[in-house]
């Protein structure tokens, strides 16, 4: 008999589904910026579609 270990790793990325610009939940939020701090772990900024449109934000890694 073989023992199978189901690797059900659920990635609950903090910040995903959250818009940092209007500070609310969003289903269209994408990663905009990765902020690296000198001390402590950095954090990620997500923005939803309307906020990206209004503020001209582009997804992280996308060149203008």
Which residues make up the interface to Zn ion (CB under 5 A)? 19, 21-22, 48, 51
Least separation, in Å, of the C-beta of 51 and Zn ion? 3
| SS3 (DSSP) at 27 | coil
Residue closer to Zn ion, measured from CB, 18 or 41: 18
- Of 38, 34, 21, 37, give the one whose Cα is nearest residue 60: 34
Output the smallest distance, CB 20 to Zn ion, in A.
8
Nearer to Zn ion, 10 or 35 (CB): 35
**CA atoms of 40 and 35, how far apart (whole Å):** 11
């Amino acid at each position: 008999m073989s023992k199978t270990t189901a690797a059900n790793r659920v990635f609950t990325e903090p910040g995903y589904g959250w818009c940092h610009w209007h500070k609310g939940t969003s289903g269209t939020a994408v990663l905009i910026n990765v902020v690296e701090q000198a001390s402590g772990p950095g954090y990620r900024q997500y923005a939803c579609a309307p906020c990206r449109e209004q503020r001209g934000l582009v997804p992280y890694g996308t060149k203008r």
